[in-house]
Structure 1
Amino acid sequence: MATADFKDYYEILGVSKTATPEEIKKAYRKLARKYHPDLNPDDPEAEARFKEINEAHEVLSDPEKRQKYDQFGQYWKQAMAGAPPPGGSGFEETDFGQYGSFDDFIDELLGRFGRSGGTGRRVYTYRTTTGPEGFREYVEFGDDPFSRFTEMPAQDTEAAIALTLSEAFHGTQKRLQIGDETVTVRIPPGAKSGSRIRIKGKGQISPFSQQRGDLYLTIELLPHAFYKFDGNNLVCEIPIRPDEAVLGAQVEVPTPDGSVMMTIPSGVDSGQTLRLRGKGWRDPKGNRTDLLVRLKVVSPKDLNPQEKECYEKLRQVSHFNPRNAIAEVRL
């Protein structure tokens, strides 16, 4: 029988079981932004939904975890922690619905492969080692001379955490609820989407040794109304008047840590990009990338009589024709 707390991760993200990794990522980002606690303060339902969305994404975005989830259903976590005994496990032919819990299944599995000399004694032991890669677990199936130790995967956990651009640029602290435990996480300045933070000893608890793995947080940056990324640089768009484009000007440009004056040369075009060096994103070492400022020439909509008269005079005296280059275009 299925466990009562089994969660359908595909249903949580609103995708089909044949969804591609890109479709899963797109659905996750849309839901994470919608239910993020910063956008839904004092809303416990949104907070719970956000946790479910992160849990579903953690599994379905990992090819190995997704394969185990698709194959073993509610027992996927136990399957991730286990390993097939010598001669194969027979998982493919196992009807998991006949077991009340994974412990019942593992008892029968170990009994099937670990009985010795007809005595009915089951062998089910584990040992641990510590090496350059940290804590490792091994589970032994069977008696000598046929027993062997099979390495168990680490009980690490992955989750996503959404940050505003301001939080990521300046650095921040976040309080996370991990089961019944509240953990404060320091995020250094300069995090970007896809950055990973390791929190030691806050992952899943091993069913064999009761040791905890690590928690890995993947950063997701929320969209910003003014700044966007172009590789490691930041990009923004600044509106300018037609006369500023023609004659040049000094304009004030917002940067992540305060406004600066920028010189616009004469004769610029709409869409042209100027570079402010060292005024873009920061990295954890304190270095700064560039801010790319895209110019947008904006025409005035409501002219006073004097302004209109000036534009009329300009039209009469101007010999500039921006369409000369396309005058001979034909098919």
Structure 2
Amino acid sequence: MPPDRDFYEILGVRRGASQEDIQRAYRKLARANHPDVNKDPAAEDRFKEVSEAYSVLSDPETRRRYDAFGPEFRQVPDDVDPETWARARSRGAGAGRGGAGARGAGAGAGFGGFQEGVDLDDLFGGLFSGRRGRPGASWGPIPGADQEAEIVLTVEEAYRGGPRSITVGSRGLRVDIPPGVTDGQRVRLAGQGGRGGDGAPPGDLYLIIRIAPHPRYRIEGRDLHVLLPVTPWEAALGAAVAVDTPAGEAKVKVPSGTSSGRRLRLRGRGMPSRGDKPGDLYAEVRVMVPDRLAEEERELFEQLAAVSAFDPRRRR
């Protein structure tokens, strides 16, 4: 992502947007640009941009640092306050205009306002170089920071688990998703977080699972819910009916006298779980009638109407 691209702009929200607004915008854009849904070659890059922007703005502390320091927020030490940064930025702008004393690659004229050629280490007295407050005084090994990133899965992908390629920042990673992950679950990738300083170990990366809305399944915890259309005669007489599950087709017994709204449970056919029992699948019956009746069908329904005393509106 270009360094001057604003995370708020990517998500299409104002800078003072609430966390709910940010989450809503992210989910809408993630669904629209998910590579499994959108086959546009550019959609994957947009999805990566949206995911990176959300990973920063969804965390209050990370968002605060981004608001204060702009794209350089990951390089600014924790103990640098925004006022110090603002003063250094002013100095950097002046040095860029005068041209005297500027050296190094600098931070560029992006979000923070630094001009080409300004040396951050010079402005902050060595804080950016080995985190030294004075020459020769090392602050010692500093462990890498833990990081978070979201990954959007379909219900089928969450059910099966397995290897998946993801991009976090500029890094490509191959991760193994456990079968049966649920929305909001955190998957820890040890040692894949921020790099440590002076030989200290890196932090961990936590993947936050988000499950995209599905046209067929609804998830509650580890239980799956699905609608089961049946014919009037299957509902009245009873039948064994096929129902789709993420693991494939299964059979469910519809008892005779079943009405719309009745829930039929298939034990253990919900989301799997390691070390715990799997969820259940609930098939909710919907009695369906033909849009158009053939002549013989109409005659049979008329015969049924003539002989049946059943009145669903009569109180029992």
TM-score scaled by structure 1?
Answer: 0.76
Identify the match of residue 79 of structure 2 among 73, 79, 83: 83
Q: Say whether residues 1:239 and 2:229 are aligned partners.
A: yes
Cα deviation code 1:215-236 (max 9, x no counterpart): 2222222332221102320000
Secondary structure at the counterpart of residue 197 of structure 1: strand
Structure 2 matches for 1:168-183, cutoff 5 A? 168-177=158-167, 182-183=172-173
Identify the match of residue 287 of structure 1 among 257, 277, 281: 277
Residue equivalent to 2:287: 297
TM-fit CA distance, 1:276: 1.1
Q: Say whether residues 1:96 and 2:89 are aligned partners.
A: yes
Q: Is the 8 A contact 2:88 2:124 kept in 1?
A: no
Q: Distance in 2 between matches of 1:123 and 1:83?
A: 19
Q: Which moved more, 1:261-270 or 1:174-183?
A: 174-183
Secondary structure at the counterpart of residue 138 of structure 2: strand
Q: Is the 8 A contact 2:52 2:168 kept in 1?
A: no
Q: Distance in 2 between matches of 1:198 and 1:101?
A: 36
Q: Say whether residues 1:125 and 2:121 are aligned partners.
A: no
Q: Is the 8 A contact 1:275 1:292 kept in 2?
A: yes
TM-fit CA distance, 1:285: 3.3
TM-fit CA distance, 1:63: 0.7
Task: Describe the shift of the 1:109–1:219 C-alpha distance in structure 2 as closer, same or farther (beyond 3 A).
Answer: closer
Q: Kindly indicate which of the two structures has a greater share of residues assigned to strand.
A: 1
Q: Distance in 1 between matches of 2:294 and 2:164?
A: 52
Task: Describe the shift of the 1:215–1:232 C-alpha distance in structure 2 as closer, same or farther (beyond 3 A).
Answer: same
Q: Distance in 2 between matches of 1:14 and 1:103?
A: 34
Q: Say whether residues 1:185 and 2:175 are aligned partners.
A: yes
TM-fit CA distance, 1:267: 2.1
Residue equivalent to 1:39: 37
Cα deviation code 1:177-225 (max 9, x no counterpart): 4566543211121112222222222223346657532222222223322
Secondary structure at the counterpart of residue 13 of structure 2: coil
Structure 2 matches for 1:1-331, cutoff 5 A? 5-41=3-39, 43=41, 45-79=42-76, 81-83=77-79, 90-91=83-84, 94=87, 96-99=89-92, 100-107=118-125, 124-128=137-141, 137=142, 154-177=144-167, 182-206=172-196, 212-285=202-275, 287-325=277-315
Cα deviation code 1:84-105 (max 9, x no counterpart): 5xxx885386352433354343
Cα deviation code 1:277-299 (max 9, x no counterpart): 11111113373211011000111
Residue equivalent to 1:144: none
Residue equivalent to 2:95: none
Which residue identity lines up with residue 15 of structure 2 in the other structure?
K
Secondary structure at the counterpart of residue 277 of structure 2: coil
Which residue identity lines up with residue 47 of structure 1 in the other structure?
E
Residue equivalent to 1:149: none
Secondary structure at the counterpart of residue 39 of structure 1: coil
Which residue identity lines up with residue 271 of structure 2 in the other structure?
W
TM-fit CA distance, 1:62: 0.3
Q: Is the 8 A contact 1:196 1:219 kept in 2?
A: yes
Cα deviation code 1:74-129 (max 9, x no counterpart): 332234x4225xxx88538635243335434321889xxx99xxxxx65752113x
The percent of aligned pairs where both chains have the same amino acid is: 40
Task: Describe the shift of the 1:6–1:104 C-alpha distance in structure 2 as closer, same or farther (beyond 3 A).
Answer: farther
Q: Distance in 2 between matches of 1:103 and 1:82?
A: 15
TM-score scaled by structure 2?
Answer: 0.79
Secondary structure at the counterpart of residue 292 of structure 1: strand
Secondary structure at the counterpart of residue 311 of structure 1: helix
Secondary structure at the counterpart of residue 36 of structure 2: helix
Residue equivalent to 1:148: none
Give structure 2 stretches of 5+ with no counterpart. Answer: 93-117
TM-fit CA distance, 1:313: 1.5
Residue equivalent to 1:145: none
Secondary structure at the counterpart of residue 17 of structure 2: coil
Which residue identity lines up with residue 175 of structure 1 in the other structure?
S
